[in-house]
Structure 1
Amino acid sequence: MDDMLARTIIETLAKGINPLTGWILSENDSCAQEEIQEALKIVLEHCSIESTTEYLKSLPRNKKAERYSRAGTAWSQKEERELLRLHQQGNSVKRISLILKRSTGAIESKLRKLGCPLYYEK
C-alpha cells in the first residue's frame, strides 16, 4: 500500500468517515467514537508523511474553498453546539453552512447524525 494512501485512510477514519465508501461511520463503529478519533489524530501528528489537507492547503484556493474553509475538518463539540443552536433557531441548511463555513452536504449529514429535521427555507 502507498504511504500517502495509508495516511489518507487514517485521516478519513479520524473524521468519522468510512474511507472505502465515503459514508459517515455508524454510532456502533469503534472509529466513530470520539476517543478513537482523537487517538488517530494524535498518531497522525507524528507521521512524517504530509497530509492530504496540508498538500491541498498549499494549492491556490478558489472561492468555493474559501466559502467552506472548515470542509474536511472534524467537528468540535463547540461547533456541534453552534450547529444545534442555529438549527433550533430555524435557520436553513444553506444559512448554517455559510455561518459555519461548511458545505450544505456536511451540515445535512451532521444534522441527520444528530437526529434533527432539516430546514431548507429562510
Structure 2
Amino acid sequence: MDDNKALAIVSALANGVNPQTGEMFEIDSPYQSVDVIRALYVAVRALEMTARTRARANRGRMPANAGKPWSEQEDRELLEKFDAGRSVPELAQAHDRTMAGIQARLERHGRLQGQGLQWRGRASQPEAEADRSGGA
C-alpha cells in the first residue's frame, strides 16, 4: 500500500468515516473513542510529514504531463477511475499530472465541488477576512 492511500484511510478513520463505505461510524464504535481519534490524528500528521519530506525532495520535478492539454480519452479514463474510488494522489500518479491538475479537472467535470488544494502561505477565507478587518 502506498503512503497516499494509507493517509486517505487513516484520515477517514480519524474523521469517524468508514473508508470502505463512506458511512459515519456509530457513536459507540471504537473509532469514536477520544484516545483512538487522537492516535489516528498523530498517524495522519506523521504520514503528512512523510509526504511533505518527499515533496521537498522532488521539488522542481514536475510530472511529464503537467500543463499539457487533456484528450477526450484521458478525460474518460480519469472519470472512470475516480468513479471507481481512486484517490486524487493515485490519479495524479496514474496520469503523470499534478494533484492540483487532477482536482481542477474533476471540478470541471462536476465530480468535486470547488474544494481546492490548500497551498502553503495562503490564508484561508476566514483568516483573510479577519486580516482585512483588523480582527484576530
Fold match (TM-score > 0.5): no
State TM-score, norm by structure 2.
Answer: 0.38
Higher relative contact order (CA 8 A, sep 6+): 1
State TM-score, norm by structure 1.
Answer: 0.42
